[in-house]
Amino acid sequence: MAMVSFSNISIPFFSHHTNTHTHTQTNFYSHSSFPTCHEVFTFFSSKLNHSSVYNAPIITHNNLRDHSSVSKAFSSGDGGKFSGSGGGGGGGGDDGGGGEEEERDRNREEAMLVLAEAGRSLESFPADLAVAVKAGRVPGSIVQRFFEMEKSVVFRWLFKFGGFKERLLADDLFLSKLVMECVVVIFTKAAAELERRKENFTKEIDFVVANVVTGIVTGFVLVWFPAPTVSLKPPLAITAGLFTKFFYGCPENAFQVALAGTSYTLLQRIGAIVRNGAKLFVVGTGASLVGTSITNALINAQKTVNKEFSVENLPVISTSVAFGIFMVVVSNLRYQVLAGIIEQRILEPLLRRNKLMLTAAYFTVRNANTYWGSLLWVDFARWVGVQKIKG
């Protein structure tokens, strides 16, 4: 059992670094001049794309039912492409293309072996998954996971909805994380509000209600958007624009480990942060509009019943926009790091053989993250002036 190490990220600029994969490693030390911009992007994206913990296994009769092989299937492709190959985007680059093709051929062989073992054909698969298997974007371990999850009535039902299949195949505990986040956000937000507001908690109960209601809605999307996925996206139309082509190749999580046969450049990983930030601004602003409006409606109802009730209505537009900005600047990167680094790169390799301990670890870190985020929002709202301290 091993943990992913990031300690070797900085050394190749000064010494030769050996690469065990089939694609070529750029040796910066041997250059007579400073590394080019392309080389820098290639180097850092390849470091994010692979880890020794996630070398894709060859599926055989002996290890076919080894659950840990699913995690190991997340391996590297070549990190040096800028054409949008990540996530099965197609398009090749000049560096390491042969290595990625070899990994895709191996994926097809593994998947066919799993199908033969199960006595199934591709015709029995959902159309998007069948296409991904034929293209070599899905290793045999993911096909095996699909068979195992398909036995559950709940998972079989969720597979019918867009987005769930991609996330559940990448992480079989995704549904647990989703429920966990939406439930615990109520208690952690309330506790964080009490910690920050202290004796003003009851006086500022309108702020508290607005924040908790908004938190329930945003809790869902903050798990959904940055969750690592198995890419099952259909091919792009030939007439697709430049930005569409670029974001098509971006991962859902900037830090997720790429499946064998797939790679992401540094630009594509940055693109994941930008794209998710735009989505979170829209959702965060909309959720805050709903939450703030509900709170104001409750305040007005209370004023009608109790003439002595003197709580002011919340500023709807400014509060909502401020929360949208908070989601982009603070929550976006925080949840990307949580799902892509802390969970996928650290906790899963460390505890993947013990699902109970892994779930408990997820519960702990997500509770802590939600509580911390609630504290940060109270401070941010006061700092920008949309929620002032009441005397």
Residues 6+ away with beta carbon under 8 Å from 178? 220, 223, 224
Helix (H, G, I), strand (E, B) or coil at 374: helix
Taking only the tens of pLDDT, the chain with its 391 residues reads 333 433 333 333 333 443 334 343 333 333 444 445 445 445 445 555 544 334 444 444 445 444 444 444 544 444 333 333 334 443 333 344 567 889 999 999 999 999 999 999 999 999 999 999 999 999 999 999 999 999 999 999 999 988 999 999 999 999 999 999 988 888 888 888 888 888 888 877 877 887 787 788 888 999 999 999 998 988 888 888 899 999 999 999 999 999 888 889 999 999 999 999 999 999 999 988 988 898 888 888 888 888 887 778 889 999 999 999 999 999 999 999 999 999 999 999 999 899 999 999 999 999 899 889 888 988 999 999 888 776 6
Identify the residue whose tokens are 């990190």: 79
Taking the C-alpha atoms of residue 248 and residue 233, their distance in angstroms, rounded to an integer, is 8
pTM, entire model: 0.69
Helix (H) or strand (E) holding 358, with range, is helix 355-384
What does the block give as tokens for 19? 């690469």
Q: Which residue in 88, 76, 89, 70 sits closest to 146, CA to CA?
A: 70
Query: Is-contact 193 262, C-beta < 8 A?
Result: no
